[in-house]
Amino acid sequence: MHNIVIEPGRSEQNYWRDLWRYRELFWFLSWRDILVRYKQTVIGIAWSVLRPLLTMAVFTFIFGRLAKLPSGGVPYPLLVFAAMMPWQFFSNSLSESGNSLVGNANMISKIYFPRVVLPASTVIVSLVDFAISLVLFAGLMLWYRFVPDWKIVLLPAFLLLAFLASFGFGLWVAALNVKYRDFRFIVPFMVQFGLYISPVGFSSGVVPERWRLLYSLNPMVGVIDGFRYCVFGGQSAIYWPGFALSVALTGLVFATGLIYFRRTEKTFADVI
Amino acid sequence: MSDAIIKVQNLGKRYRIRHQQSGMNYVALRDVLAQKLKTAVNPFPRKSRPPSPAREDFWALQDVNFEVRPGEKVGLIGRNGAGKSTVLKLLSRITEPTRGRIEINGRVASLLEVGTGFHPELTGRENIFLNGAILGMGRQEIKRNFDEIVAFSEVEKFLDTPVKRYSSGMYVRLAFAVAAHLEPEILLVDEVLAVGDAQFQKKCLGKMDEVSKKQGRTIIFVSHNMATIVSFCQRGLLLKDGRIEADGDISQVVSHYLQESTRQDGQFRKEASNGQTKLEIEKIGLYKGGKISTLFSPEDTLAVRIDYQVRRRISGAQVAIEVFNELSECIFSSTDQDWSGEKPEVLPGRQAVECPIDLGFFKPGKYSIKVSSSVPNLEILDLVEDQLAFEVYDDHSPVLKLGQARKGIILPKIRWNKVS
């Protein structure tokens, strides 16, 4: 027997229990988004293969060939691709979860469910894209006959970090998008700008030592450095103080994102 | 504890209204930043200036108390803005109450969700699962009912076709089939918001009623159609300005509501202009030979005169009347654009239209007229909730002598020909 009591502030208390109750909806929504994404099979998969490969080619040409930045003995395309994976995961999640609430406005205004399900399921979809690029990456390593470091077993830990960063920012953007309808114009800019200030096309080693701590204020620096550290080992040493800062900031963004989202969530149906 | 399935105590819901952005309840970041910047740059803010986005509290519901027993079918009636939809929203937990408490002992589903979450790219099969999950069915429950849903929707052949290729009829049937197989203890139906036409909703309700006959499902039904409500519900709840005005037997509550919302003097005059809407109906009158009247013979012509003000240029606006009989059945409707070929451009200013109705086909009895204005399929510009009552009396003409016992809701005077 379902017994529900509705009172002001009550949904706060039952939040996590409700989230568990609605877990099936969460899987169904993720499943829907994945299906839709790969529905036009050829285009869907081709797109998630082509995009990272093309970006990799361009970045390798600009930063590796033209600017001749050091790669620490690693084939430059691999260096770029190792960073591209977490970056695209992050940027996809950010733009998709930003739209997730407004895009499902009719669901929000017509039925109850913990709203956090929506941005969360879009991050899952980006995870599928990530898996595809992981396969690509394995192919690339074969091509270059590159043997990854044993530390690659740590990759899931850094993936978790990437997940927290993506979801944290995603929550912020999703909630702000509902409140400020012109916020969505800022998101593409944020993503584009983020690409330049993140060490995707180059190794963070090229950043002068005294700037590195400041550079690590960008949480994605920690994530990307971590990924490279896993794959290339000694050739891409982590700058630990900066890494710690990135991790701390990621945690902060995630926590505040969750708090802000939950605080505004109750009013979504009223304003959307 | 009492045996109530829904228990509502001192329920209140407050909305904050911003006056500046009428019709938009979200804000633009641009405006907020500009405002902040202005106050930051200006070192001497004038203290006397009131805070710029004028906010006002609006209680959509206040001190609402009621209980519903299992199996009861409750009709929720009231004017627009009386709080009907807010009650449903609170019951379905879409929004939180500001005050009070609701206790629900059962699963709640609402019919306003028919087709919600359908994705055009997905196949019928996929959408059944998705929509079921959105409506609150578990995976097992959907699987168990799957064959039945498919059979009911009559779209077996197209089960693996994306629903974007469906005809609108198929789409609605599928959506309805899913909703009809929900097994909630409490069902909320909002006719105003529900998808589909009246026919479809009726079919929905019939099916739901039939399915749930044994279990005796509890239903809360919101509708403007009094005829449907009276036939479907046993108990009525009348809301007025966010409070419960009447609670009891449905026909009594409906007649209370109708009496209250029907003008008996043949005219309506808007007391306070809202001063904002694009088009506002200001005055309505029922005329017989140039004079206000409420009593007509079938020989008369009833002229409905509607005075309205247009504040902004509107493309495609029309003014419409609906005529209801005593049972709240709509006998016909008519608009001022019925005879014009193209979309009218309505320009700002005060205007008046007149609709002469030849009462020749009216049965003697009591009627009421409802006036509204809209851009068809786009927006409702104004809707006068006060209906104007009038009566057609029996003038003892030969046709009408037989008339009262006649079947049908109208009585056209048809002269038959002898052909052989």
For the stretch A244-257, pLDDT in tens is: 888 999 999 999 99
**Predicted pLDDT of residue B200:** 59
In SS3 terms, chain A reads as CCEEEECCCHHHHCHHHHHHHCHHHHHHHHHHHHHHHCCCHHHHHHHHHHHHHHHHHHHHHHHHHHCCCCCCCCCHHHHHHHHHHHHHHHHHHHHHHHHHHHHCHHHHHHCCCCCCHHHHHHHHHHHHHHHHHHHHHHHHHHHCCCCCCHHHHHHHHHHHHHHHHHHHHHHHHHHHHHHEHHHHHHHHHHHHHHHHHCCCCCCHHHCCHHHHHHHCCCHHHHHHHHHHHHHHHHHHCCCHHHHHHHHHHHHHHHHHHHHHHHHHHCCHHHHC
Two tokens at B70? 């299992």
Determine whether the interchain pair A180/B29 forms a contact, defined as Cβ–Cβ distance below 8 Å.
yes
pTM tops 0.90: no
Two tokens at A41? 């099979």
Judge whether A105 is closer than 8 Å to chain B, CB to CB.
no
Number of H helices, E strands in chain B: 9, 23
Spans of all domains in chain A: 23-271
Judge whether A266 is closer than 8 Å to chain B, CB to CB.
yes
Question: Contact, A76 vs A225, CB < 8 A?
Answer: no
For the stretch B52-89, pLDDT in tens is: 455 678 888 999 999 998 888 899 988 877 888 889 88
Per-residue pLDDT, averaged over A39-57, amounts to 77
Burial B311-345 (b: 16+ CB within 10 A, else e): eeebebbbbbbbbbbeebeeeeeebbbeeeeeeee
CA of A16: how far to CAs of A5, A110, A117, in Å?
15, 21, 12
Picking from A3, A181, A269, the nearest residue to B95 by CB comes out as A269
Contacts of A2 in chain B (CB under 8 A): 104-107, 185
- Residue for token digits 């009911």? B152
Judge whether B374 is closer than 8 Å to chain A, CB to CB.
no
Q: How far apart are CA B283 and CA B388, in angstroms?
A: 11
Spans of all domains in chain B: 62-107+184-260, 264-403
Parallel/antiparallel/unpaired status of strands B99-105 and B73-77 = unpaired
Determine whether the interchain pair A25/B134 forms a contact, defined as Cβ–Cβ distance below 8 Å.
yes
Determine whether the interchain pair B97/A8 forms a contact, defined as Cβ–Cβ distance below 8 Å.
yes
Q: How far apart are CA B409 and CA B420, in angstroms?
A: 31
Question: Contact, B298 vs B392, CB < 8 A?
Answer: yes
**Predicted pLDDT of residue B249:** 92
Per-residue pLDDT, averaged over A92-103, amounts to 88
Contacts of B129 in chain A (CB under 8 A): 28
Question: Contact, B86 vs B241, CB < 8 A?
Answer: no
Q: Which of A63, A64, A61, A57 is closest to A81 using CA atoms?
A: A57
Cα four-point dihedral sign B290, B291, B297, B298: positive
Per-residue pLDDT, averaged over A230-253, amounts to 83
Locate the chain B residue with the closest alpha carbon to A181: B28
Topology of the domain covering B62-107+184-260: Rossmann fold (3.40.50)
Q: At what angle do helices A155-179 and A117-143 cross, to 10 degrees?
A: 140
Q: Complex ipTM above 0.85?
A: no
Determine whether the interchain pair A6/B90 forms a contact, defined as Cβ–Cβ distance below 8 Å.
yes
Picking from B30, B104, B121, the nearest residue to A182 by CB comes out as B30
CA of A200: how far to CAs of A60, A244, B290, B296, in Å?
10, 19, 82, 83
For the stretch B13-60, pLDDT in tens is: 888 776 544 444 556 777 777 777 776 666 555 544 444 455 678 888
Contacts of A186 in chain B (CB under 8 A): 29
- In three-state secondary structure terms, B66 is strand
User: Which residues does residue B296 pair with via DSSP β-bridges, in sequence order?
Assistant: B392
Judge whether A19 is closer than 8 Å to chain B, CB to CB.
no
Q: Which of B394, B390, B362 is closest to B264 using CA atoms?
A: B390
Length of chain A measured in residues: 272
Contacts of B133 in chain A (CB under 8 A): 24-25, 28-29
Low-confidence residues of chain B: pLDDT under 70: 1-2, 18-27, 39-55, 111-115, 191-205, 207-215, 397-405
Picking from A176, A266, A271, the nearest residue to B25 by CB comes out as A271
pLDDT score of A113 more than 80: yes
Q: Mention every residue, 6+ apart, whose C-beta is less than 8 A from residue B275.
A: none
Superfamily of structural domain B264-403: abc- transporter (atp binding component) like domain (2.70.50.60)
Mean pLDDT of chain A: 85
Determine whether the interchain pair A32/B130 forms a contact, defined as Cβ–Cβ distance below 8 Å.
yes
**Predicted pLDDT of residue B415:** 85
Judge whether A185 is closer than 8 Å to chain B, CB to CB.
no
Locate the chain B residue with the closest alpha carbon to A25: B133
Determine whether the interchain pair A179/B97 forms a contact, defined as Cβ–Cβ distance below 8 Å.
no
Contacts of B89 in chain A (CB under 8 A): 269
- Residue B378 has φ and ψ, to the nearest 5°, of -125, -60
Picking from B92, B101, B119, the nearest residue to A32 by CB comes out as B119
Judge whether B85 is closer than 8 Å to chain A, CB to CB.
no
Judge whether A102 is closer than 8 Å to chain B, CB to CB.
no
